[in-house]
Amino acid sequence: MSRSSPPPPAKKMAYFPKIDSTAHSSAEFRRVLWTGEHSQLVIMTIPVGGEIGEEIHTVDQHLSFTEGTAKAIVGGEEKQINPGDLVIVPAGTKHNFLNIGKTPLVLYTVYAPAEHNAKTVHHTKEEGDELEDAGKDEPPSWAKH
């Protein structure tokens, strides 16, 4: 599938007031909020007992956790993650985040460069996996890889 998408964003500030509230109010597993030429902002909600899923990206990923408790497994290292924590996953590093708490795990993440289609909304992990496996969640062609 081609990496068709809207044109690159204007060269101006992207402002997200109260990003923690924005992330909290989203029930989708994954929603892209903004995509630039060199990075992408995504919010995620992982249900109780759920996980992001083991993966390896070709891009760096910064994850900021706003609600819930997670077990991070990054490059074979395990760590408990709590609200207010930030985890950086370097490109090429196997990782997964599991919701081990009693409430949804809510986070926002920055990929550098973009990892997903600029219009991505995945209501569930299964939907996201299916679209990714089918090549229907590719970053924009103008994103710098």
Q: How would residue 145 be classed by pLDDT, with cut points 50, 70 and 90? A: low
**Domain count within the chain:** 1
DSSP 51: B
Instruction: Note whether residue 123 is domain-resident.
Output: yes
Average pLDDT over residues 54-64: 95
DSSP 55: B
Which residues sit opposite 106 in a β-bridge?
A: 45, 67
Instruction: Note whether residue 127 is domain-resident.
Output: yes
| CA separation for the pair 71, 57 (Å, rounded) | 19
Instruction: Note whether residue 53 is domain-resident.
Output: yes
Tell me: pLDDT of 8 over 90: no
Q: What is the pLDDT of residue 103?
A: 96
Domain that holds residue 80: 20-133
Tell me: pLDDT of 104 over 60: yes
Instruction: Note whether residue 118 is domain-resident.
Output: yes
Instruction: Note whether residue 12 is domain-resident.
Output: no
Instruction: Note whether residue 144 is domain-resident.
Output: no
φ and ψ at 132, to 5 degrees? Answer: -65, -45
Could you tell me the CATH number of the domain that includes residue 32?
2.60.120.10
Q: Quote the Cα angle for 6-133-103, to 5°.
A: 85
Q: b/e string for 58-91 if b means 16 or more Cβ within 10 A?
A: ebbbebbbbbbbbebbbeeeeeebebebebebee
Instruction: Note whether residue 111 is domain-resident.
Output: yes
Instruction: Note whether residue 7 is domain-resident.
Output: no
pTM: 0.86
CB 48 within 8 A of CB 103: yes
Per-residue pLDDT tens digits for 41-57: 999 999 999 999 999 99
Which residues sit opposite 114 in a β-bridge?
A: none
Q: What is the pLDDT of residue 1?
A: 40
Structure tokens at 89: 């996953």
